[in-house]
Chain A
Amino acid sequence: MLLKNTHNELIKILAKPRSYIGFIALTVLIGVILLAMKADGENFISFVTASFEQTLSFNGLILNGNLIAFIILQMLIIHVPLLVALVTGDLVSGEAAMGTLRMMGTKPISRNSFLLSKFLAGAIYTFFLTLWLAFLSLIVGQFMFGTGDLIVLNSDGLVIIPEYDIMWRYGLAFCLAYLSLLSIATMSICFSVFSDNSIGPIVSTMAVIILFTIIGSLDVSTFDYIQPFLITTHMASWRSLFEIPIPYDAIMDSIIILFVHIIGFTLLALWWFNKKDINT
């Protein structure tokens, strides 16, 4: 029943116009960034090396597809969750608003299977959105700008990663990015279970992301205790894959925190959904 209803959920997702907003938005956004970089990328990257250029010169192909992909990921990783929530936040509450939750609730499928199939469909949707992000940023970026070493700016300074050492890092980075987006999807589906209207969970998810991002960026000692546990703190953990050496322990911590969020939200949603009276 779980797989059958997952099939149903995917049909519903594919049929809804809003499911394509994320893909179109990514295409337009990334397209604009790529064109901007093509037009004025050199000036943009001189900002990265500016402090060193009094004493050093950087030779070679700095503005290449690998750097472009990094810049795009950096810019969009806070915005893409909103595109995910637009679809996943509506999965349960949208049905409640439409009345179809009542129809489906009378069918011989357990509430656990019904809800888990929505989580599964949401996860699949998020996967394809991440794949599209990867394709546009990395593949199209490399096609337009070629490949080369990746120069990355972090709090310790510059890291230059050789070309041969990049693709596997991007592979893992997109896996981490997917995990981050999956945690957001799970959170929005959980909110969706508590609501009977379509917009509430989407707006709540956006509000949480914005609030946690602000808390995470504030250098206030009061927040030091909670920052390591915020979902948004670990959404940027993919960046650590572009360090030398890679802090595997810290990345593993992020993965664990994200998984804890995913499991926690799923269990909370299942608990409430089983308890809930379907009155709509």
Chain B
Amino acid sequence: MSEMIVSVKKLKKSFKGFKALEDVSFSVYKNDVFGFLGPNGAGKSTSLRCMLSLIEADDGHIEIFGKSLRKNRFEVLSNIGSIIEKPDFYKYLSAFKNLEIMARISGRQVSKSEIEDIIHFVGLEGREKSKFKTYSHGMKQRLGIAQALMHNPELIILDEPTTGLDPQGIVDIRELIIKLSKEQGKTVILSSHQLSEIEMIANRMVIINKGKSIIEGEVNELLNSSQMMVKFSSDDPKKFCSILTKEFSDIADLKVTDSEIEFEINRENIPEINSLMVGQNINISGIEQKRKLEDYFIKMIQNEK
């Protein structure tokens, strides 16, 4: 296993009695594109703010690059580039001036030519002298990424970077993140409330909900698990259930309604179940299948609404 870059253990934070974080723990390894997934209000931004010392956690421990954040703030933050929520800059300054200001306190020497290079890298050449207030949302996001990258950090933290972008913009950001990880060897922590987004680019992830870590692991393992949640639509659910439970012993989470039967089963058994029911003259009007974790995540979001 590669080197651990980030170790967050039992993070706790309350705001005026409200428990924003109760027990958040996860680990990030070198070259990971790490997905930090959770519904709105789960505590993602709060956790990231703690990692970037914007917020002081009430309890817990954060280690980055093997160093305690509390005791080595300068060294740690010098090697991190981040965007928390939307990228905000000084409206009355040009993009170039904004980057110069950030560069001056980035902890590393960043030359003017390096700033020009990064502006070119994020596709803003020709607009660097324009005032930030004239920028579109997509351009602001690009500038945010520029300031996160210009001092060549090892770790990049992006908080919902595709929010508000058009489809092309989303694709661009996705490709950029993959490029950063594969070509430049950066470690990226990417937070999102969209599972599909994490699934497309992350190799490892953690899901948090209501300030607690729920599950952490490789994306492939978590999302491509053979266990599926299947929903059959039938006109005779009772008979369906009776046959199902008789023939298959590894059914779990069985739920029956007037016209639907939902349960957890190994994906390989689904065609067999279908054939069996049809053979028993039970009409099947529909089959819906989701990965167990995806189903869990969707229910989490629905509960939050």
Contact between chains at B56 and A108 (CB < 8 Å): no
Residue from B56, B74, B77, B86 within 8 A of A277 (CB atoms): B56
Residues of B within 8 A of A277 (CB): 15, 49, 54-56
Contact between chains at B49 and A278 (CB < 8 Å): yes
Interface string of B144-177 (1 = CB under 8 A from A): 0001000000000000000000000000000000
Interface centre among A16, A98, A100, A104 (most CB of B within 10 A): A100
Contact between chains at A98 and B91 (CB < 8 Å): yes
Closest to B157 in A: A106
Q: Does A7 contact B (CB under 8 A)?
A: yes
Closest to A103 in B: B88
Interface centre among B49, B52, B75, B105 (most CB of A within 10 A): B105
Contact between chains at B55 and A7 (CB < 8 Å): no
Q: Does B82 contact A (CB under 8 A)?
A: yes
Residues of B within 8 A of A108 (CB): 73-78, 105-107
Contact between chains at B88 and A107 (CB < 8 Å): no
Residues of A within 8 Å of B, CB-based: how many? Answer: 26
Query: Which of B96-104, B183-191, B203-211 has 4 or more CB atoms under 8 Å from chain A?
Result: B96-104
Contact between chains at B101 and A8 (CB < 8 Å): yes
Q: How far, in whole Å, are A99 and B147 apart by their CA atoms in the complex? A: 15
Residues of A within 8 A of B92 (CB): 15-17
Contacts A103-B147, A108-B78 given; indicate if A4 touches B53 (C-beta within 8 A): no
Q: Does A211 contact B (CB under 8 A)?
A: no
Residues of B within 8 A of A102 (CB): 54, 84-85, 88
Size bracket, chain B contacts: 20 to 34
Q: How far, in whole Å, are A104 and B15 apart by their CA atoms in the complex? A: 22
Q: Does B296 contact A (CB under 8 A)?
A: no
- In the assembled complex, the CB of B211 is this many whole angstroms from the nearest CB of chain A, namely 15
Residues of A within 8 A of B147 (CB): 103
Residues of B within 8 A of A15 (CB): 90, 92-93, 97
- In the assembled complex, the CB of A47 is this many whole angstroms from the nearest CB of chain B, namely 46
Interface string of A93-113 (1 = CB under 8 A from B): 000001110111111111000
Residue from A1, A5, A105 within 8 A of B54 (CB atoms): A105
Q: How far, in whole Å, are A63 and B146 apart by their CA atoms in the complex? A: 61
Interface string of B41-67 (1 = CB under 8 A from A): 000000001001111100000000000
- In the assembled complex, the CB of A12 is this many whole angstroms from the nearest CB of chain B, namely 6
Q: Does B198 contact A (CB under 8 A)?
A: no
Contact between chains at A4 and B74 (CB < 8 Å): no
Contact between chains at B54 and A106 (CB < 8 Å): yes
Residues of A within 8 A of B76 (CB): 108
Interface string of A13-24 (1 = CB under 8 A from B): 001110000000
Q: Does A51 contact B (CB under 8 A)?
A: no
Q: Does A279 contact B (CB under 8 A)?
A: yes
Closest to B147 in A: A103
Interface string of A258-280 (1 = CB under 8 A from B): 00000000000000000101110
Q: Does A246 contact B (CB under 8 A)?
A: no
Q: Does B297 contact A (CB under 8 A)?
A: no
Residues of B within 8 A of A98 (CB): 88, 90-91
Q: Does A11 contact B (CB under 8 A)?
A: yes
- In the assembled complex, the CB of B244 is this many whole angstroms from the nearest CB of chain A, namely 51
Contacts A15-B92, A100-B89 given; indicate if A106 touches B84 (C-beta within 8 A): yes
Q: How far, in whole Å, are A240 and B147 apart by their CA atoms in the complex? A: 53
Q: How far, in whole Å, are A16 and B88 apart by their CA atoms in the complex? A: 16
Contacts A4-B104, A103-B102, A108-B107 given; indicate if A12 touches B93 (C-beta within 8 A): yes
Q: How far, in whole Å, are A241 and B203 apart by their CA atoms in the complex? A: 73
Q: How far, in whole Å, are A102 and B147 apart by their CA atoms in the complex? A: 13
Closest to B85 in A: A102
Contact between chains at B52 and A4 (CB < 8 Å): no
Q: Does B37 contact A (CB under 8 A)?
A: no
Contact between chains at B106 and A103 (CB < 8 Å): no
> For window 107-141 of chain A, which residues contact chain B by CB distance below 8 Å?
107-110
Q: How far, in whole Å, are A1 and B74 apart by their CA atoms in the complex? A: 11
Contact between chains at A100 and B52 (CB < 8 Å): no
Q: Does B80 contact A (CB under 8 A)?
A: yes
Contact between chains at B106 and A99 (CB < 8 Å): no
- In the assembled complex, the CB of A109 is this many whole angstroms from the nearest CB of chain B, namely 5
Contact between chains at B91 and A278 (CB < 8 Å): no
Contact between chains at B90 and A100 (CB < 8 Å): yes
CB-CB nearest 9 A-B residue pairs: A99-B88, A108-B77, A108-B107, A278-B54, A106-B52, A108-B78, A277-B55, A108-B74, A4-B104
7 A-B pairs with CB atoms under 8 Å apart are A11-B93, A15-B90, A15-B92, A16-B92, A98-B90, A100-B90, A279-B55
Having A15-B90, A103-B102, A110-B73, one finds 8 other A-B pairs with CB under 8 Å, namely A11-B101, A12-B93, A15-B93, A102-B54, A103-B84, A106-B80, A277-B15, A277-B56
Point out residues on A near B: beta carbons under 8 Å: 1, 4-5, 7-8, 11-12, 15-17, 98-100, 102-110, 275, 277-279
Point out residues on B near A: beta carbons under 8 Å: 15, 49, 52-56, 73-78, 80, 82, 84-93, 97, 101-102, 104-107, 147
